[in-house]
Amino acid sequence: MPLAQLMSQIQELPKIDKLRLMQFLATELVNEEDVNFFVANQEYPVWSPYNCSEAANVLMDLLATKQRGKNG
C-alpha cells in the first residue's frame, strides 16, 4: 500500500486509534533498535549547565542591552 494512501486512511481514524497507532509505532521502533546501543562500562558524555557561568554572563549582558534599548 502506498504511503499516501496509508496516510489518508490514518487521517480518517478516530483519535483513540491514532494514539494506539502512535504507541504501536513507537514500540516497533524501540524493538528495532540495536540492543547493544549502550555498552556496559562505557563512558558517555552528558552536557550539564553546572560551571557554565560564561554562558550566563553572556545572557545577562544581552538582556541588559535589550533592556537599555527599550528604556533609551
Residue 9 lies in a domain: yes
- pLDDT for the residue 49: 77
Sorted by sequence, the CB contacts under 8 Å of residue 21 that are 6+ apart come out as 10, 13
Closest among 21, 2, 23 to 13, alpha carbons compared:
21
Residue 40, domain member (yes or no)? no
Whole-number percent of the chain with pLDDT over 90: 46
All three cell numbers of 21, joined, read 497507532
In the chain, how many domains are there?
A: 1
Predicted local confidence at residue 8, as pLDDT:
94
Long-range contacts of 25-33 (CB under 8 A, 24+ apart): none
Render pLDDT for 17-49 as a digit per residue (tens, 0 to 9). Answer: 999 999 999 989 888 887 777 778 888 888 887
- 43 domain residue, yes or no: no
What is the pLDDT at residue 44?
Answer: 86
| 14 within a domain of the structure (yes/no) | yes
Residue 41 lies in a domain: no
Tell whether the model's pLDDT for residue 60 goes beyond 80. Answer: yes
Range of the domain at 6: 1-33
CB atoms within 10 A of CB 18: 13
